[in-house]
């Protein structure tokens, strides 16, 4: 049953717009962390990085994640996506990216407390997660392999 009607394409466009914002933030935050870790805890530079990261989380990442989920759930219901195998794969990776977002927020809190639990190399490797997830999601949605 189609409930969105003429709004369907607007909802789909909004979903994609906020996915782009979310992905940009998910790529930026670990890069911020790499630079942040290089400064001394408690320094002026440390305070500047804490504020930059806070703004990225509060202004871009958090709202984008919420809106991606809202519009995505609307689209899921509209097309009855739950019945498609490709959707289950997409959902798995979207849940993974949502968890990654939560991990980033938690790591930001550690950096703000002066902790540096990961190396720059580890953060660089973690920065690959959104790209891999995005590739899998796009293939699942466009190619619909199952």
pLDDT of res. 1: 54
Domain spans in the chain, listed from the N-terminal domain onward:
5-143
Q: For residue 28, is pLDDT > 60? A: yes
Which residues belong to the annotated binding site?
Answer: 15, 90
Could you read off the pLDDT of 126-145 as tens digits, one per residue?
A: 999 999 999 999 999 999 99
**Distance between CA 126 and CA 67 in Å, rounded?**
24
Q: Report residue 64: phi and psi, to 5°.
A: -65, -45
**Distance between CA 52 and CA 50 in Å, rounded?**
6
| Rg (alpha carbons) of the chain, rounded to whole number | 17
Q: What is the mean pLDDT of residues 98-127?
A: 97
Of 117, 115, 114, the C-alpha closest to 126 is 117
- Average per-residue pLDDT in the chain? 97
Which residues belong to the annotated binding site for heme?
Answer: 15, 90
Contact 93, 133 (CB under 8 A): yes
Of 132, 128, 58, the C-alpha closest to 93 is 132
Q: For residue 110, is pLDDT > 60? A: yes
**How sure is the predictor about 2, in pLDDT bands with cuts at 50, 70 and 90?**
confident
Of 133, 127, 131, the C-alpha closest to 29 is 127
């Amino acid at each position: 049953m189609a409930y969105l009607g003429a709004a369907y394409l607007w909802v789909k466009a909004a979903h994609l717009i906020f996915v782009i914002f979310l992905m940009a933030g998910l790529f930026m935050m670990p890069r911020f962390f790499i630079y942040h870790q290089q400064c001394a805890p408690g320094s002026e530079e440390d305070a500047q990085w804490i504020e930059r990261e806070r703004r990225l989380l509060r202004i871009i990442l958090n709202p984008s994640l919420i809106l991606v989920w809202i519009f995505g759930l609307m689209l899921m219901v509209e097309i009855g996506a739950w019945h498609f195998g490709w959707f289950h794969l997409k959902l798995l990776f979207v849940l993974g990216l949502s968890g990654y977002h939560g991990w980033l927020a938690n790591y930001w809190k550690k950096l703000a407390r002066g902790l540096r639990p990961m190396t720059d190399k580890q953060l660089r490797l973690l920065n690959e997660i959104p790209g891999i997830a995005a590739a899998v999601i796009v293939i699942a949605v466009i190619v619909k392999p199952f």
